[in-house]
Amino acid sequence: MAASLRRLHHIAFHVRNGDKLTNDLVNKYKFNLFAERLTSKARQVALKNGSAVFVVNERLNLAFLDKKGQVNNLLNEQVHDHCGFETFDYKNIRFEHEPEFLYDVYQSYVVNTACNVSFEVNDVEGSSKRLRNQGCDILVPPTKVQDRCGYVTYSVVKSIVGNVCHTLIDRTNYDGDFLPGFCKINNAGNNARSVAVGNSCDITHFDHITYACPQQCTPEILEWYERMFGFERFLMSR
């Protein structure tokens, strides 16, 4: 039985220079930077235009954090409960237990890549179990993250396509702007820069996602998405 998807939640990049991609999205495509997560190991920023949301993931080093003085700028009173493992508080940072990237996994590719297509689901645990029973690799088991606005549950599964993975998110019990673990950012400056770019087109939503696949792999990929997520094929050309 296929996992039931509600809607696309966000698309995530893993890049070596997060500032460059973030600036391009803001200045060229009118995206607004509205949320950020910063740890000793990684920086994750969320950008939005219409209903389209990108997350830019960048791995950091301690020298960068020491220079910026941002280690203590993590969210207050965040609690992360990972499938029965130790619950920890971000105010008492224990980096040996902290996930490098929330709602994602680290990508070892040396090139910049868009590699996570995240979907909202109603039942993360049930969806993950169904996918695992069909042979899908579960990279992050069902995990609960909460803050004052509520909690979300997520898991990460590996797709059949290269380094692409899918995060399944249930945020029906969360009233925050984005996801627990991210700090809200005042985007007045981003809005000002976006308005200045008069030639950019307004973006309302993601229409579709395209994979560049090796030759003769398309039938296998189509079958995998039909079986795992219940996608239906439609012909774009004859």
The ranges assigned to domains in the chain are: 5-229
HSE (side-chain half, CA atoms, 13 Å) at 3: 32
Given a contact cutoff of 8 angstroms between Cβ atoms, the answer to whether 119 and 169 are in contact is: yes
What pTM did the predictor assign?
0.81
* Distance (Å) of CA 213 to CA 15, 219, 220, 234: 21, 11, 11, 18
Question: What's residue 39's pLDDT?
Answer: 86
Strands 165-170 and 113-120: parallel
Write out pLDDT tens, residues 54-99.
999 999 865 555 555 544 444 333 344 433 333 333 333 333 346 7
Q: What mean pLDDT is predicted for residues 42-63? A: 90
Rg (the chain; Cα; Å)? 18
Question: What's residue 235's pLDDT?
Answer: 79
- Environment class of 182 (CB within 10 Å of its CB; exposed 0-12, middle 13-18, buried 19+): buried
Integer Cα distance of 127 and 216 in angstroms:
29
Q: CATH class for domain 5-229? A: alpha beta
Say which range, 116-125, 159-168, 188-197, has the weakest mean pLDDT.
188-197
- Per mean pLDDT, which of 83-87, 100-104, 192-196 is the most reliable? 100-104
